[in-house]
Structure 1
Amino acid sequence: MNLTPKQIVQLHGFNNLTKSLSFNMYDICYTKTREEREAYLAYIDEQYNAERLTNILSNVTDIIGAHILNVAKQDFEPQGASVTILVSEAPVDEKQVEAFEESPGPIPGSVVAQLDKSHITVHTYPEFHPDEGISTFRADVDVSTCGEISPLKALNYLIHSFETDVMTMDYRVRGFTRDVNGHKIFIDHEINSIQNYIPDEVKKLYDMIDVNVYQENIFHTKCKLKQFDLDNYLFGYSKKSLSTEEQISITDKLIGEMEEIFYGKNMINH
C-alpha cells in the first residue's frame, strides 16, 4: 500500500517504518607541498571539528522535528571527528504532514545525537594521495528515523552546510507498519527521486545521476559540480602563480579525481 501525504490512515500501534538518509560529500583540493597538505588538513579539522558538527546535527534534528536525547562527540588524532545523536519523535502536526511532500527543506538562519529508535551521525575522513598532490575531505552523514518524522527535509540544509564537489545520497524505507485492519504498509509517502528534495538552484550547479530500485523503496542520487575554476581548488595561492603547463597538469589531476569519485571506479593508472 503506497500512500500520498494527504491520505490519513489509522495505524495499528506505532509507525514501525524506518526511513534512512545517507549523505556523503567530498571536498577536493590540490596541495603542492607537504606543508600545504598539512595546512589544508589542519584547516579542515578546525572547520569541521566535533563542536561545529554537533551544531549542524542539532539543526538537522530541529528541521525534521525531533527531540535530542543524547549526544556523543569526539575529535580524533591526527585528524577527523565523529558525532552521534539519539533523538525521539516530536508530536505530529500539520507541519509534520508537510514533511512528506516532495519539496526542499529549510535552511536555518542561524555528535552522535540519540532519538527514540532514531539517530543522526556524522564522521569525517580527511585523506591525501601519496604523491599526486591531491587532498580530499569526506564527510558521511546518516539520518535514520522511525515514526512520522522524515529525514529528507534535512537534505537541503546538509547540502548548504558543507563545501561540496561531489555528493552521493541514498534514501531507503525499511520494514513495515500496519493499519487497524492488519494490512502491511511498506511506505507511507510518495517519492520517485531524491532530486525532488533538492532546490532547483542547487540542481543547476551539478550533473546528477539517479539509480533507483522502486520496488524495494531504495533511492540513490549522485552529483558532481558542473563548473570548474582552478582557483577554487588551490590552497593558499592562485593559478596566476603557476605556469600554463602546471595549470593543465593540476586541472587534469583534480578533474580525474572528481570523475573517479563520481563514477566509483579508477579511471587513470596511478
Structure 2
Amino acid sequence: MDHSEKLKLYGFNNLTKALSFNIYDVCYAKTPREQKDYIAYIDQQYNSERLTRILTSLTDMIGARVLSISQQDYDPQGASVTLLIAEDSMVPVQGETQVAHLDKSHVTVHTYPEYHPETCLATFRVDIDVATCGEITPLSTLDYLIGSFDSDIITMDYRVRGFTRDVDGKKLFMDREIRSIQDYISKETLRRYDVVDINVYEANLFHTKMMLKEIDLQNYLFKTDVYELPPTTRLSIMDSLRREMIEIFSGRNVF
C-alpha cells in the first residue's frame, strides 16, 4: 500500500487526525529503595529535555514545523512536553498572515513513573498524543516512537474526524485508505509482539494493542544480576512480570 500518495483536493484538507499512543515499561524492583531508585532513573532518562528531542524529531518526520514548545518536569516524578505545530508549507513568511486554525495541530507527551508499596514491580507509562490537520499523517512515526522507549506493552488509537472535498466537490471522510495501524509498523517490529486489532471502520476508528512476546529477565531487573538469583526465584519473577503485562495488555484484572 502506498501511504504517501496524495489526493487532489479542493482547498485545504479539513480532516483532523488524532493518534493516541500509550507505552508501558515494567521493571522488577524488590525493595522500597530499589523502587524509588528506579523512579529516579526513569525521571532522569525520560526528562522533559529528552522528550522534547524525541517530539521535535517526530515533527521533522511528519513534515511539520514547530511553532512553540512548552516543557515541564514534575516533583516528585514525571514530565510533560507540548509542541504546537503546523505544516511546513503553511508557516508564515514575512508579509504573510497565518491561517488561525492551522496551529491547532499539536504533539504532547506525558510520563507516569509509578510503583506500589505492596508489590515488587514498578511501571513507567508514557502517553503521546498527536492531533493534526491538513496533509500531516502521524502514523508514519510509529516505528520511531516504539524504538525511542522500552516498550513492553503498547496501545494505540487513531481517529479521523470531519471531512474535506476533492476537486469535484465530493465529500471525503478519509484522505487515504487505512485497513489497520499495523500496516504502518515494520514487520520486524511486529514479529517481536503479540498484536490485536479492534477497528470500527464505520467511525474511522482504529485501535491496536501490542505486548512483547519474549522476556529477557536481565532487562527487567534493577540493580540485580540474574545469575545471582536461584532458578525458583527467577521463575517467580518471570511469572509476576508476565501477569502484570497480561493485565495491562488486557485492560482488566485477570489474576
Tell me how far 1:250 sits from its aligned partner. 1.4
Offset from partner CA, 1:17-55 (integer Å, 9 cap, x none): 001111110000010101111111111000000000000
* 1:200-215 correspondence runs (5 A): 200-215=187-202
Q: Whole-Å Cα distance in 1 between the matches of residues 43 and 191 of structure 2?
A: 30
Q: Whole-Å Cα distance in 2 between the matches of residues 51 and 217 of structure 1?
A: 34
Q: Whole-Å Cα distance in 1 between the matches of residues 149 and 7 of structure 2?
A: 36
| 1:150 corresponds to | 137
The 3-state SS of whatever aligns with 1:266 is coil
CA contact (8 A) 2:65 2:88 kept: yes
**Range that drifts further, 65-74 or 222-231:** 222-231
CA contact (8 A) 1:5 1:190 kept: no
How many residue pairs get aligned? The number is 243
Q: Whole-Å Cα distance in 1 between the matches of residues 25 and 19 of structure 2?
A: 20
2:46 counterpart (48, 52, 70): 48
CA contact (8 A) 1:210 1:221 kept: yes
- Structure 1 runs of 4+ aligned residues shifted over 6 Å read none
| 2:7 corresponds to | 8
CA contact (8 A) 1:44 1:137 kept: yes
Tell me how far 1:15 sits from its aligned partner. 1.1
| 1:129 corresponds to | 116
Offset from partner CA, 1:47-87 (integer Å, 9 cap, x none): 00000000000001100000111100000000000000000
The 3-state SS of whatever aligns with 1:209 is strand
Q: Whole-Å Cα distance in 1 between the matches of residues 9 and 114 of structure 2?
A: 49
Structure 2 unaligned regions, length at least 5: 91-101
Q: Whole-Å Cα distance in 2 between the matches of residues 224 and 198 of structure 1?
A: 14
Q: Whole-Å Cα distance in 2 between the matches of residues 218 and 245 of structure 1?
A: 45
| 1:100 corresponds to | none
Distance 1:252 1:116, change over 3 A: same
What's the % identity of the aligned pairs?
Answer: 57
Offset from partner CA, 1:128-182 (integer Å, 9 cap, x none): 1221111000000011110011111111111111011111111111111123554
One-letter amino acid of the structure 1 residue matched with residue 76 of structure 2: P
Tell me how far 1:5 sits from its aligned partner. 5.7
| 1:86 corresponds to | 84
One-letter amino acid of the structure 2 residue matched with residue 36 of structure 1: E
Structure 1 unaligned regions, length at least 5: 93-114
Question: RMSD in angstroms over aligned alpha carbons?
Answer: 1.7
* 1:1-270 correspondence runs (5 A): 6=5, 8-11=7-10, 13-91=11-89, 116-268=103-255
Tell me how far 1:6 sits from its aligned partner. 4.3
Q: Whole-Å Cα distance in 2 between the matches of residues 87 and 263 of structure 1?
A: 34
The 3-state SS of whatever aligns with 1:8 is coil
Q: Whole-Å Cα distance in 2 between the matches of residues 231 and 184 of structure 1?
A: 54
Structure 2 length-normalised TM: 0.91
